[in-house]
């Protein structure tokens, strides 16, 4: 899941594999499958609370990034808190949800079983869940073998309010994060047994929007975005 040089890119933990094996190669902007964060990093707008649609079940959780069979994936627990807390507490919880998404995604890819993509619901909801599942399923359908795991490091973040339908705010329930995704520990082998070239850039910036659900206290990643390759922002880290 590295950003492939001179190509468009997926976001999330299936980046390089889905990209390289599906032959995406063009422009210098994120691919159409990349969902935009609800608010920009520099100017955080209130995020509408989709509490009823953001119910997250405790699917199964992963620890290992080595090859795991579908039956061996352990039980996952979502990131929860009784309240979003202050700015720093909310950012810490949101980042844990992003880390969980990477862990689950890596485990599912290592398992080689697309049916395990449902496990992603423990860390992602809304458009992000739909996209992450599609990426994983599309990637595994190629017959490639994925080994290892991507790591993620927090660069910075900003917490702000989410908004109920009646206009009331929940302070610090919506968090925008910039993270550095490191794919140096991932090895991909094509169906033909040959290593897949994931490009020279193994570390790059991804933006995530994370939402706290008031109904069950679960933090879920709801959207993601890559800075444009030819834009004014830094793309590598």
Per-residue model confidence as pLDDT tens digits over 32-76? 333 333 333 323 334 444 443 333 333 333 333 334 444 578 899
* Bridging pattern class, strands 145-148 and 186-189: antiparallel
Q: Three-state SS across 47-60?
A: EECCCCCCCCCCCC
pLDDT at 231: 78
Q: What's the pLDDT tens digit per position in 9-39?
A: 333 444 433 443 333 333 332 233 333 333 3
Which one-letter DSSP state was computed for residue 198? -
pLDDT at 208 over 70: yes
Three-state DSSP class for residue 211: strand
Does residue 230 lie in a domain region? no
The DSSP secondary structure of 121-149, one letter per residue, reads GGTB-HHHHHHHHHHHHHHHTTT-EEEE-
In a domain, 8, yes or no: no
Which pLDDT band holds residue 200 (cuts at 50, 70, 90)?
low
- Report the pLDDT value the prediction gives residue 146, as an integer from 0 to 100: 93
Count CB atoms within 10 A of the CB of residue 45. Answer: 13
pLDDT at 236: 87
Q: Report how far residue 28's alpha carbon sits from residue 31's, in angstroms, rounded to the nearest whole number.
A: 9
In a domain, 237, yes or no: no
Structure confidence at residue 61 (pLDDT): 34
The whole-number pLDDT of residue 13 equals 42
Cα–Cα distance, 179 to 204 (Å, whole number)? 8
End-to-end, the C-alpha distance of the chain in Å comes to 15
Angle between helices 87-111 and 126-140 (to 10 degrees): 20
Number of separate domains in the chain = 1
Quote the domain boundaries for residue 150. 15-225
Alpha carbons within 13 angstroms on the beta-carbon side of residue 223 total 16
Task: Write down the pLDDT at residue 164.
Answer: 85
Please say whether the dihedral angle defined by the alpha carbons of residues 198, 132, 173 and 82, taken in this order, is positive or negative.
negative
Which of 14-18, 184-188, 219-223 shows the lowest per-residue confidence on average (mean pLDDT)? 14-18
Q: To which residue do tokens 């697309």 refer? A: 114
Q: Is residue 69 part of a domain?
A: yes
DSSP E strand stretches across 55-199: 79-80, 145-148, 151-163, 169-182, 186-189
Hey, CA dihedral for 104, 105, 108, 113, is it positive or negative? positive
In a domain, 232, yes or no: no
3-state SS assignment for residue 38? coil
The H or E element that residue 92 is part of is helix 87-111
What is the rounded CA–CA span in Å between residue 73 and residue 19? 25
Q: Which of 92-96, 114-118, 137-141 reaches the highest mean pLDDT? A: 92-96
Q: What is the mean pLDDT of residues 144-170?
A: 94
């Amino acid at each position: 899941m590295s950003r492939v040089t001179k190509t468009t890119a997926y976001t999330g933990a299936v980046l390089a594999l889905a990209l390289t094996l599906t032959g995406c190669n063009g422009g210098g902007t994120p691919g159409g499958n990349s969902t935009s964060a609800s608010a920009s990093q520099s100017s955080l707008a209130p995020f509408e609370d989709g509490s009823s649609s953001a119910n997250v079940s405790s699917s199964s959780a992963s620890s290992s990034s080595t090859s795991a069979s579908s039956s061996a994936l352990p039980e996952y627990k979502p990131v929860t808190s009784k309240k979003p807390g202050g700015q720093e507490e909310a950012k810490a919880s949101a980042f844990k949800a992003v880390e969980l998404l990477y862990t689950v995604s890596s485990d599912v890819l290592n398992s080689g079983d697309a049916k395990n993509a449902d496990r992603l619901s423990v860390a992602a909801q809304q458009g992000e869940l739909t996209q992450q599942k599609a990426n994983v399923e599309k990637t595994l359908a190629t017959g490639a073998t994925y080994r290892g795991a991507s790591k993620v490091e927090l660069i910075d973040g900003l917490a702000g309010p989410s908004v109920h339908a009646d206009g009331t705010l929940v302070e610090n329930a919506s968090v925008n994060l910039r993270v550095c995704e490191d794919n140096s520990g991932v090895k991909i082998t094509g169906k033909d047994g040959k290593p897949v070239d994931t490009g020279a850039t193994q570390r790059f910036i991804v933006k995530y929007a994370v939402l706290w659900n008031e109904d069950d206290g679960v933090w879920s990643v709801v959207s993601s975005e890559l800075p444009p390759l030819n834009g004014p922002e830094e793309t590598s880290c």
